[in-house]
Copies of this chain bind each other. A is one copy, B any other.
Amino acid sequence: MTLTKTDITEVWEELAWKQDTKIIYLVMDGLGGLPHPETGKTELQTAKTPNFDQLAKQGSCGLLEVVGPGITPGSGPGHLTLFGYNPLKYRVGRGVLSALGIDFDLKEGDIAARVNFATVEKGVVKDRRAGRIETELNQKLAQKIRENVTLDFEGEYFFETVSEHRAVFVLRGQELGGELDDTDPQKTGISPFGIQAKDDASCKSAQLVSNFIQKVKQVLADESPANMILMRGFEKYKPLPQLIHRFGLRGVCVADYPMYRGVSRLIGMDVVPHPGGLKQRFQALQNCYGNDYDFYFLHVKKSDSTGEDADFDQKVELIEKVDGLIPQITDLQPDVLVVTADHSTPATMGSHSWHPVPVLLRAQNARADSVDRFDEYACNQGMLGLRPGTDIMGLALANAGRLQKYGA
C-alpha cells in the first residue's frame, strides 16, 4: 500500500538547468489576512494597491497553503518552503536560524537554541520577553553570563546577543545530541520547563544545558527585569543542500532581520549586509541586480509585525507603502516576479495563522487570468489555484525556462 515516492522538488533538481534568466521573490512576511469585522475586508482588500493589482492582472494568481492544511508556519519553514525546500523534510530549529542570522559561524554538529531573557517571579514566568529589554542591556547581561558561567566538559558554549530580549546559545563538543525539549513554556503564569532529552543521544546535552541554566539563574538573580532565560528550538546544525546545487540558482537575500538572512545563508545564498529600512532594501535590490545572481529574495518584515501587533490600519498602511515601491522592482524587468508571503498574520488574530497566502507570478509565459486585484479572495479565482507552498519554486523555475522537459 505504500511505495517510495519521489518528492516533486527532487524532480526539479533533476531537471534544472542554467539559463540567463532572473527571478525576483518579494516576500511580504505574514501578508495574508482576515476580514476586518466592521468592513468585511481583509488588510489587502482595504489597501489601495494599484501596482500589485496591475501585476495581478498581468500574471497568474492563486493561493499557497504554505506548509500544509491547518499548519501555521513559523518563519523558517515558511521561507524554506517558498524556496522549494519540502518543510516536512527539511526541519530547521529557530536556534540554528537565529545563530546564522547574527553571522555566528556555526559548525556542523553544533547544538543551537534560541534564548529569551525573561522575568520570573517566585518560580513563575511573568514576562517571556523581560519587557523587551534594550539590546544594550542584553549585551551587558550576555557578557556577565560568559564571564561567570563555565561548563565542565570537553567542549565550549557560546552565548550571543541577537537584539532586544533575544539571544542565541550554542553548545559545541563531541557527540552531542540536539533533541531537547524547549524550556520556554510559551505562556506566562507557569514555571519554565525543565530541560528534557528526547533521545538517548541527547542526554549529555540535556545535562550540560540544565547545568548552564542553573548557573545563569544564579548569575542573573539580582537583575531586573531580566532575571532568567528561556530556551527553545534546540537543534543540531547541519547545512542544507545548497540552492545552487539543487536548482542552479545563484541567490541573494535582501533582508534586515537576522532570521531571514539566516535562512538564506543556510541554503547558500549570499546576503546583502545590513541593507537597512524598507526603501533602502528596495535600493539594495537594485544595487545587487546584475550578472552575479539569478535569484533575488527581497523580504518585508513589517507586514508580519503589524499583524502580530493586531494593528490592522498599520498593516494596511505598510502594504500601501510597499505597493508604492513596486516600480523599483518592475523597472528591473525580471523574467519572473513572484509576490507572496511565508504565512498569514491576520491583524484580527494578532498571530501567525494557517490561512493560505495570496500569490502572484508574472512572467512572459504565465497564463494571465482574470484576476485584476491582489488579495486573498481575488486570488482564489486565479489560474494557479490553491496549492502547496513549495510549488511556487517549481513554477518560478519553469517560467524562467530553467526546467528541462520531463522524460521523452
Contacts and interface: CB of A to CB of B under 8 A. Distances in A.
A129 to B, nearest CB: 15
A317 B130 CA distance: 62
A59 interface: no
Interface string A19-46: 0000000000000001100000000000
A301 interface: no
A41 to B, nearest CB: 12
A76 B2 contact: no
B1 A6 contact: yes
A363 to B, nearest CB: 11
Interface stretch (A212-220, A282-290, A325-333, A348-356): A348-356
Interface string A82-100: 0000111101111001000
Contact of A3 (B10, B73, B395): B10
A346 interface: yes
Given A69-B391, A398-B71, A5 B88 contact: yes
Contacts of A177: none
Contact of A5 (B2, B67, B393, B394): B2
A405 B91 contact: no
Given A7-B3, A76-B408, A408-B93, A403 B70 contact: yes
Given A2-B5, A7-B5, A71 B406 contact: yes
Which 8 pairs, one residue from A and one from B, show the smallest C-beta to C-beta distance? Answer: A94-B408, A70-B394, A70-B398, A385-B386, A74-B407, A77-B407, A69-B391, A6-B88
29 contacts: A1-B6, A1-B14, A2-B10, A3-B7, A4-B4, A8-B68, A12-B70, A34-B365, A34-B367, A35-B367, A69-B398, A70-B391, A70-B403, A71-B403, A72-B398, A72-B404, A73-B406, A74-B406, A74-B408, A93-B407, A94-B407, A114-B408, A232-B408, A233-B408, A346-B365, A354-B395, A354-B398, A380-B385, A386-B386
Interface of A: 1-8, 10-12, 14-15, 34-35, 63, 67-77, 86-89, 91-94, 97, 114, 232-233, 259, 346, 348-349, 352-356, 365, 367-370, 376-377, 380, 383, 385-387, 391, 393-399, 403-408
